[in-house]
């Protein structure tokens, strides 16, 4: 009798254990992405709600480090070709802008000066040689021999042409400067570029030697976190 009671208790214990295990297994295997149906409408669980996903993306975007825009030397070249000094401003070398305009102002002023006197001497020579109203001749040139006026005219014309050439040369140097320093903007200009001299030993000739090393390397870009995942 006692043995039958123990068997019944054992069977009850085993049944309760199996039922509990089945219940826990069913709960564990229930997917979190299950869709609840309420009056024919699908309801997403909280883990898939778009509001939470958007808030998480916004938080990640807020905490992320902004990506640094890469310096483009071609932009510096194009800007300097259009407007002198614009490429230097793009390279953040603002101190060069007065130098650029000073280099362009000198030949520009010389061009205006030489062209003005070229027109005066040309008009005076034509009037004095071919005849005309001498009142139109510049006062300083009225009492000068036409042969001297012709020589002055040729000199002023030559100097005017040289002034135009120097103006174009200064403009070209402005473009070259913006281009070169635009390319050098991405290179390291720290103390790592210094020349290193150190003793060495030649294993072939078994004689001491002196080695020289130059270190050229691009500037290290800081690691940036992506703006979004």
- pLDDT at residue 111 greater than cutoff 60: yes
pTM reported for the whole predicted model? 0.55
- Which has more pLDDT, 115 or 143? 115
Q: Give per-residue pLDDT as tens, 41-54.
A: 444 455 444 555 55
Return the HEC string of the chain: CHHHHHHHHHHHHHHHHHHHHHHHHHHHCCCCCCCEEECCEEECCHHHCHHHHHHHHHHHHHHCCCCCCCCCHHHHHHHHHHCCCHHHHHCCCHHHHHHHHHHHHHHHHHHHHHHHHHHHHHHHHHHHHHCCCHHHCCHHHCCCCHHHHHHHHHHHHHHHHHHHHHHHHHHHHHHHHHHHHHHHHHECCCHHHCEEEEEEEECCCCEEEEEEEECCCECCCCCCCCCCC
The pLDDT of 19-31, averaged and rounded, is: 52
pLDDT at 130: 87
CA 90, 95, 99, 105 torsion: positive or negative? positive
- pLDDT at residue 40 greater than cutoff 90: no
Give residue 105's pLDDT band: very low, low, confident or very high (50, 70, 90): very high
Nearest 5°: phi and psi at 68?
-80, 130
Q: Give per-residue pLDDT as tens, 78-103.
A: 999 999 999 999 999 999 999 999 99
Using a 10 angstrom Cβ sphere, with 0-12 exposed, 13-18 middle and 19 or more buried, the burial of residue 228 is exposed
Percent of all residues in the chain with a pLDDT value above 70, rounded to a whole number = 54
- Which has more pLDDT, 6 or 55? 55
pLDDT at 163: 97
- pLDDT at residue 172 greater than cutoff 80: yes
């Amino acid at each position: 009798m006692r043995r039958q009671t123990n068997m019944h208790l054992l069977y009850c214990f085993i049944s309760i254990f199996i039922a509990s295990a089945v219940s826990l297994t069913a709960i564990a295997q229930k997917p979190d992405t299950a869709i609840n149906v309420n009056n024919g409408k699908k309801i997403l669980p909280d883990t898939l709600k778009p509001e939470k996903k958007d808030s998480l993306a916004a938080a990640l975007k807020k905490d992320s480090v902004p990506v640094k825009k890469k310096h483009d030397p071609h932009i510096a070249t194009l800007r300097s070709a259009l407007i002198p000094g614009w490429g230097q401003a793009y390279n953040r070398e603002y101190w060069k802008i007065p130098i650029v305009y000073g280099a362009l102002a000198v030949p520009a002023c010389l061009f205006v000066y030489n062209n003005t006197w070229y027109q005066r001497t040309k008009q005076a020579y034509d009037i004095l040689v071919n005849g005309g109203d001498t009142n139109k001749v510049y006062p300083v040139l009225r009492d000068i021999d036409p042969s001297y006026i012709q020589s002055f005219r040729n000199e002023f014309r030559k100097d005017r042409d040289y002034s135009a050439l120097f103006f174009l040369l200064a403009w070209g140097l402005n473009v070259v400067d913006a281009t070169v320093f635009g390319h050098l903007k991405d290179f390291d200009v720290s103390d790592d570029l210094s020349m290193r001299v150190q003793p060495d030993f030649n294993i072939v000739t078994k004689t001491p030697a002196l080695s020289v090393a130059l270190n050229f390397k691009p500037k290290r870009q800081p690691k940036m976190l992506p703006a979004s995942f």
